[in-house]
Structure 1
Amino acid sequence: MKATIERATLLKGLGHVQSVVERRNTIPILSNVLIEAASEGSLRLMATDLDLQINETVEAQVAQPGATTISAHTLFDIVRKLPEGSQVELTAAEGKMQINAGRARFNLSTLPRDDFPVIAEGELPTHFELPAATLRQIIDKTRFAISTEETRYYLNGIFIHVSDEEQPVLKAAATDGHRLARVTVPRPAGAEGMPDVIIPRKCVAELRKLLDEVDGTVSVSLSESKIRFDLGNAVLTSKLIDGTFPDYNRVIPTANDKLLRIDPRSFEEGVDRVATIASEKTRAVKMALDRDKVTLSVTSPENGTAAEEVPGDYGADSFEIGFNARYLLDILGQIEGDTVEVHLADAAAPTLLRENDKAPALYVLMPMRV
């Protein structure tokens, strides 16, 4: 194969695909990116870790069609360091690839295209489209709550399912057992009857990166075991987590009768300030609720104490409750309006946070003993 491509175009495409490739691989070909030059003037770049696969098509001048595979991270680093605006010439033959740009010359080993594994998608019976902005919102408002505990592998992703309520909706939820995030959006046409699926954390991260460059809609196709996102020039295919997501509705409180309305920015800044002295292990911040004010405080055996008063609209009985400051800040960071509703019951019960009862996102946070 022989092709010439602009450095910026190649760098952007490689940037998307190389992040799928694991740094350490026992199977050498999994360290490689597949480069396929088509006679109609395009290069297809593809990388996989056997669970997740990304395909990106970029424009190029193709003198000789063909395909090969080459170390993804090495090629990315080379292209990154080439002079801006340069034209990169890629020539592959007999187990080698020559890369020429300006005065730079590289000659790298390749592995045959036929050895490159491709995820077999099989049938993907459910197909629907979502605006890229909706997909970004779903990911941003839930992914911080994805569990990183490998033993509870079924929590290592975002759970997506459809539900028939007053109107048909699509719901996305993530939890790590300490907090829960859920987003509800109108059900897109074609999603009715779709299976409940758990999209793995790595797929979510790669999808989010790609969404930054998509303005229109994203085509989603899925089965019980695989999902494919078609984003125009890029196609992301992933295996789904084979497990059962817990019935998260059971932890969403419905009878929390103490309501605090507070400005999320001043609340967030107050929590952030007092948490400066919190010990790394507990990260605990105490909230003392009184009429129309909240006193945030932290007591650290190593550092001392900190307290800050934040005004809020609260009219129920006074009481104290503790939270993990990091978890609370993650949730407050997703609140876009100028008021957040905090629905509380007592110091041991889960607390519900949302902008209002019409907001698409809602959060549940388990308290801590402080």
Structure 2
Amino acid sequence: MPLTLEITLRDETLEEDAFQIIKVVRPNWNPETVRSKLYTGGISNKLIGYYQDGKIGEDVVMIRMYGQNTELMIDRKAEIDTMILLHGYGLGPELYAIFRNGICYEFIQGRILSMEDVRSPEVYPRVVAEMVKMHCDIPSNGLAGNHAEEAGMWNKIRTFDALVEEILQTNPTLVARLETFGFDVSPGFGTRAIKEMENILKSQNMPITFCHNDLLLGNIIYDPNTSKVSFIDFEYAMPNYPAFDVANHFNEFAGIDNPDFDKCPDRAFKSKWIAEYLKGFKLEGVELSQEKFEYWIELCQPASHLFWSLWAIVQAHNSKIDFDFAGYFGLRYIEYDKQMKEVRKFL
């Protein structure tokens, strides 16, 4: 079990504070030879890696400081429970310690997926295999060990929406920026969109499995030396529709810093990817045809965009990280609106 430490990290003394954790989880390390690396790619939390000089490839300890007010959207206890559960199944890093505003865990060797990797015939089948393992091997209700009756995304997105409703009535500057994208963002807009999406997806009677739900390229590690793929960052892992997990992954082909949704996979690549997935998907009492699963993914792609659109508004209001969350809302909501217009045509 991970250690529990009464330590709080502060922005102004981040590395100094984090080193106090290293002294506990790696007491044999020589303080004179410990080096650190600040990772700058994340848009929710702050992340530092610690290692001994000259040994970055051998043992790296990661320390993540939670982002400002992220506990409003993320159940941190559930995240910790998930990390422990998944590591027991050979999925994800080992959790070393929990401190007041973050966690300390094992570094997964390798590199985050590139735009080229995610399409590579050498790599994407390994991503598929890892996702199948998560969807089929882990109890859908996580540590409870039983079957989840409802997709967790509905409670989560309603949590986002409740926060958005408050923000829309208290932050006129942000509202003015959101309105520049040409959409009605008056109170209730998210609630109405969620209700429509929920009616559509629940009518499909899709299976529910344990899902990652945030498989952007930065949350997938590929080690070219071993050809192993690993998933990291389980903040949004929960029971959900596997079609949502796959659809969300396809949406994330666009990237984060300057998303380009023209880079999302075309129908031919999706079909090839899904065929690989269905070869490994084995769940008692569930029969999935290629045609049906592809249809479900088409329905879930706008749901993914809506999910992260509302998330982005909450982040724009709360986060201190240097990232244009309001702009990210606009990009995701444009895609949601465009894809929903297509979905409504064939319902």
TM-score scaled by structure 1? 0.25
TM-score scaled by structure 2? 0.26
Of structures 1 and 2, the larger Rg is shown by 1
**Highest relative contact order (Cα 8 Å, sep 6+), 1 or 2?**
2
Q: Which has the higher strand share?
A: 1
Q: Which has the higher helix share?
A: 2
